[in-house]
Amino acid sequence: MNTKIKNIKMYLESNNVNPTYHRIVIFQYMENSTRHPTAEQIYTDIKKEIPTISKTTVYNTLNSFVKNGIAEKLNIADSEVHYDIPDNGHDHFLCINCGKIYDIKPEYSKSNIEIKSIQGHKITQLHCYYKGICKSCRNDKK
Amino acid sequence: MNTKIKNIKMYLESNNVNPTYHRIVIFQYMENSTRHPTAEQIYTDIKKEIPTISKTTVYNTLNSFVKNGIAEKLNIADSEVHYDIPDNGHDHFLCINCGKIYDIKPEYSKSNIEIKSIQGHKITQLHCYYKGICKSCRNDKK
DNA sequence: TTTAAGGTTGTAATGAATACAAAAATAAAA
DNA sequence: TTTTATTTTTGTATTCATTACAACCTTAAA
């Protein structure tokens, strides 16, 4: 077993996620992905490597990741939830033309919470979603 | 017809929404509501006033409002979309305990876009969602 | 008083996500 | 090594929000 997988194992363990084969593969897939995949996309791609995997396992795994704080749900699109492995708190941009999601560099991000409480409500999370036309789609129209 | 309804009629008209009875009632309901209702909640409540209304009409109406910029979708909760009549751009807070959505006062809001473009992407919208434990739930636990 | 256009209704269909029970795998105990 | 217990995984069925669609109704124009 290579060091990368060993690192993932340790990382999952240290976050209360029992590092089974499926979970390691899914986490590795998400770490390598830049497209903020949906459960469906993860399922389809992982299936190439593990043909017997079930969609339920993907959902279970993602829910376990989210519950233990090592993955984040992005409610940026209307119909589907996208998933992200947050490195250092950054915002996201959704292209309303092509549907692609981009990372916004931390220096432009607004979701670094410094406030702990607003109007008496205890703040634990802040999600900021930008929307518009992405660079690529803007160029295509010219 | 009272002035309030007349005003709504004019407002819908000026935003390219043909002001039918159903649409006026739904818009009025949303303006008076502080709970950022879902389509289901709107349907249930409006049904008391217009028993023959269909759920499709509620969805059609809301989609028409959103398309014409007089209502906004809140993708703040996991399963359902909530709707808001945005007055002056403010953020929202979701209590992860009771599910209630609160308005964040504009002075604490982050979604006033001043930037028109980030990393080459043209920005047209910014949605910021705070989450945590609301004032009321915090008091209940004591 | 027809014709056309838009609005509404109800039912059917879609599709993401969950529930659940059986089977499989893994770990712990004897 | 066997037995038992616990956790995972699988597959199917179900739920539920939302949309599709065709029939019907309403309104306004011709």
Residues of B at the A interface, defined by Cβ within 8 angstroms: 73, 75-78, 81, 93, 95-96, 102, 104-105, 108, 110-111, 115, 118-135, 138
Q: What is the pLDDT of residue B127?
A: 95
Burial of B52 (0-12, 13-18, 19+ CB in 10 A): exposed
Q: What is the pLDDT of residue B47?
A: 97
Q: How far is the CA of A54 from the C1' of D3 (A)?
A: 30
Q: What is the pLDDT of residues A74-115, one digit of tens each?
A: 999 999 999 999 987 799 999 999 999 999 999 888 887 777
CB A124 within 8 A of CB B132: yes
Q: Which nucleotide is nearest to B79 (CA to C1')?
A: D17
Mean per-residue pLDDT of chain B: 93
Largest distance between two CA atoms of chain A: 51
Which residues of A fall within a CB distance of 8 Å from B77? 75
Query: At residue B142, does pLDDT exceed 60?
Result: no
Which parts of chain A have pLDDT scores under 70?
1, 141-142
**Quick check: B38 CB within 7 A of strand C?**
no
* Element housing A133 (H / E): strand A121-133
Q: How far is the CA of B37 from the C1' of C7 (A)?
A: 23
| Whether this model's pTM surpasses 0.85 | yes
Q: What is the pLDDT of residues B76-133, one digit of tens each?
A: 999 899 999 998 779 999 999 999 999 999 988 888 777 789 999 999 999 999 999 9
CB A59 within 8 A of CB A87: no
Q: Which nucleotide is nearest to A57 (CA to C1')?
A: D9
**Location of structure tokens 């993955």:** A71
Of B116 and B140, which is predicted with more confidence? B116
To the nearest whole angstrom, how far is the Cα of A23 from the nearest Cα of chain B?
23
**Quick check: A109 CB within 7 A of strand D?**
no
CB contact under 8 A, B118 and A104: yes
Q: Helix, strand or coil for residue A106?
A: helix
Of the candidates B67, B123, B68, the one whose C-alpha atom is nearest the C-alpha of residue A110 is B123
